[in-house]
């Protein structure tokens, strides 16, 4: 019985320590997303691949998202190339998105 008590105490401490290490690495990453000509891009989707959580940029192109060191953030916006950035030690990630290479040259509308 005494051995079970020690085992349970050890396991509890180990789990608490493990969760506290994970929680310390999570932090808020902020930044601004702009186009190649410097205009702020509103509505850019940002997704943390590790957690699946995401957000969008505001009218000024600003965003904030929870991420840990080593997580990959994916930035995507219609008409622009998708880009991925790995979170390092800083808390700020600014990004410039570039137009996608393929665009429509013409649109044909057919009425019936």
Which domains, and CATH codes, for the chain? 27-97 (2.60.40.10)
Which residues are within 8 A (CB) of 85 and not within 5 positions of it... i.e. 6 or more apart? 72, 73, 75, 93, 95
| Contacts by 73-79, CB closer than 8 A, 24 or more apart | 73/29, 73/46, 73/47, 73/48, 73/49, 74/45, 74/46, 74/47, 74/49, 75/33, 75/44, 75/45, 75/46, 76/44, 76/45, 76/47, 77/33, 77/41, 77/43, 77/44, 77/45, 79/103
- pLDDT band at 50; cut points 50, 70, 90: very high
- Check if the beta carbon of residue 11 is closer than 8 Å to that of residue 73: no
The rounded distance, in Å, linking the Cα atoms of 63 and 55 is: 7
Q: Which of these ranges, 6-15, 52-61, 84-93, has the smallest mean pLDDT?
A: 6-15
Average pLDDT over the chain reads 84
Residue 21 has pLDDT above 80, yes or no: no
Mean pLDDT in residue range 18-25: 55
**DSSP designation for 78:** T
User: Among the residues of the chain, which ranges form H helices?
Assistant: 2-25
């Amino acid at each position: 019985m005494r051995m079970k008590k020690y085992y349970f105490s050890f396991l509890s401490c180990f789990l608490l320590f493990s969760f506290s290490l994970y929680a310390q690495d999570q932090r808020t990453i902020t930044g601004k997303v702009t186009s190649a000509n410097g205009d702020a891009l509103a509505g850019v989707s940002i997704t943390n691949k590790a957690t699946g959580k995401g957000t969008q940029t505001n009218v000024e192109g600003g965003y904030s998202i929870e991420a840990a060191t080593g997580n990959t953030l994916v930035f995507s916006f219609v008409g622009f190339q998708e880009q991925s950035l790995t979170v390092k030690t800083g808390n700020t990630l600014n990004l410039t998105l570039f137009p996608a290479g393929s665009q429509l040259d013409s649109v044909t509308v057919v009425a019936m």
